[in-house]
Amino acid sequence: MDSSSSSSSPAEPSTITGATTSPLILGGIISLDSKVSFQLHTLCRPFLPHFILFLLELSADFRFFFPISLSLLPARQLRPFIIPFLLGLLLDLVLVCLIKISVRRSRPHYNPTMNVAVSADHFSFPSGHSSRVFLVASLVHLSASVFADALGSEGKIVNLLIALVWVWAAATSASRVLLGRHFVVDVFAGALLGVLEGLFALHFLKIEKFF
């Protein structure tokens, strides 16, 4: 009896250690993320024109972005891009809201008062703006041939369009941290989610034949 109890006891500390390691690591990552995000926000604030950051924020706001995108629907030559694009935007809205409600990470404490579209926007992870703009950038990149046919142009113009969209996506995502809306990890997670949504939308949401 004594030998069996002594042989099982050494396993208990390892079990406890294993249970506490992950929260400690996660807490360290969150703490580092918060510090880096605050430093970026503080260092860049005096130098960057705030109206540009606000314009970037507005350019990817779903309440403005989706209706403007919907207005492109009559352009028949762009249907192979527009249909997955619009459905991808709706998918993004649903996924981001579900993740935010599940994770419930608070916004940065230095975040200025902001208007929220839905209650889930009170939470920070992931960045919906970042997922949205990287969804757009990835879809535009993957739909280069569609734009070439629609514009009747050579590759240089389409490549310029793709480059501009990627720059816009990167700048808009960076503005989320610089404005104090999000943490760095929120932005990276949103960007990754947007790219994955773009791939999914292009391959599985092609229903333009019904329109």
Active site residues: 129, 182
DSSP class of residue 61?
Answer: -
Assign 3-state DSSP to the chain and report helix, strand, coil percentages, each to 5.
75, 0, 20
Q: Identify any residues that bridge with 123 across adjacent strands, giving them in sequence order.
A: 106
Contact 92, 197 (CB under 8 A): yes
Exposed, middle or buried, 120 (CB in 10 Å: 0-12/13-18/19+)?
middle
Contact 140, 164 (CB under 8 A): no
Encoding tokens for residue 80?
Answer: 């192979």
